[in-house]
Amino acid sequence: MMSASVKIAPSLLAADFAHLDQEIAGIEAHVEWLHLDVMDGHFVPNISFGIPVIEGVRAVTDLYLDCHIMTTNPGAYLPELAEAGVNGVTAHIEAVPDPGPTEMRAREHGLDFGLVINPGTPFEAVAPFVESCDLIVIMAVEPGFGGQEFIPGVLPKVEAAREWVENRGLRADIQVDGGIGPENAGTVGAAGASVLVAGSAVFRADDPVHAVKEIRRAAERNE
């Protein structure tokens, strides 16, 4: 369909946590965003990292920090996340079926705001809110863990989101998160994604910069 230019957002979840400064320095000149997966062990069955780690990340990079909040109450730590230096937050519609107050709180703290849908959640669940969002995120794996296999069945939702945004002239980016690598970035781009998250495919690659370039090339050429 489109995708003249895409943003690549490596997910730090797959990086070496003992050397985050080096991991970030290795890719930061080649990517637009850094994707931060915050998990609470309750909304998802895993715990990742929180505010102190994000402060540490902010101290070593000027990249746009895209914080994917996988917690039961995504509104609870918005002031702290803003203070720690994230630029945008995304909250799951499964956690906040009425996202208005969460979005308002995010905006009060100067944060970009987006909504995320799990593989089993239809696009219709977020459609009424797309107009005010900066970002809509289509999960291509069940949230909670990196390194899972891409679920191709979510691609029609990416197309639906892209069509919704184009038909209404909206500004929202369409992000796809989970299981993305050079081998499927083309179909993700062709479906209409403008932001591709990739964790394992970047940070577990022998050459992360090469991996980023391959993902970008595939996504922009739709191949």
Residues forming the site for Zn ion (CB under 5 A) = 37, 68, 177
Which DSSP string corresponds to the chain?
---SS-EEEEBGGGS-GGGHHHHHHHHGGG-SEEEEEEEBSSSSS-B---HHHHHHHHHH--SEEEEEEESS-TTTTHHHHHHHT-SEEEEETTT-SS-HHHHHHHHHTT-EEEEEE-TTS-GGGTGGGGGG-SEEEEESS-TT-SSPPP-GGGHHHHHHHHHHHHHHT---EEEEESS--TTTHHHHHHHT-SEEEESHHHHTSSSHHHHHHHHHHHHHHT-
Please classify residue 5 by burial: count the beta carbons closer than 10 Å to its beta carbon, then call 0-12 exposed, 13-18 middle and 19+ buried.
exposed
Closest distance of CB 108 from ligand DX5, Å: 25
| Rounded distance between C-alpha atoms, residue 25 and residue 1, angstroms | 33
Q: Does 68 bind ligand DX5 (CB under 6 A)?
A: yes
| Residue with tokens 């918005």, as numbered in its chain | 78
Q: Does 197 bind ligand DX5 (CB under 6 A)?
A: yes
Q: Does 31 bind ligand DX5 (CB under 6 A)?
A: no
What residues contact 187, with CB distance under 8 A and at least 6 apart? Answer: 152, 155, 222
Residue 47 or 131 having the CB closest to ligand DX5: 47
Among 37, 134, 159, 173, which residue sits at the site for ligand DX5 (rule: CB under 6 A)?
Answer: 37
Total interface residues for ligand DX5 by CB under 6 A = 21
Q: Which stretch binds ligand DX5 (CB under 6 A): 58-66, 92-100, 139-147, 159-167?
A: 139-147
Q: Does 179 bind ligand DX5 (CB under 6 A)?
A: yes
Q: Does 72 bind ligand DX5 (CB under 6 A)?
A: no
Q: Does 201 bind ligand DX5 (CB under 6 A)?
A: yes
**Catalytic residue flag (residue 206):** no
Which of 40, 66, 173, 177 is catalytic? The answer is 177
Closest distance of CB 196 from Zn ion, Å: 11
Closest distance of CB 177 from Zn ion, Å: 4
Binding-site partner at residue 3 among Zn ion, ligand DX5, none, CB < 5 to 8 Å by type: none
Q: Does 198 bind ligand DX5 (CB under 6 A)?
A: yes
Residue 15 or 172 having the CB closest to ligand DX5: 15
Q: Which residue is nearest to ligand DX5 (CB)?
A: 199
**Catalytic residue flag (residue 177):** yes
What positions carry a catalytic annotation? Answer: 37, 177
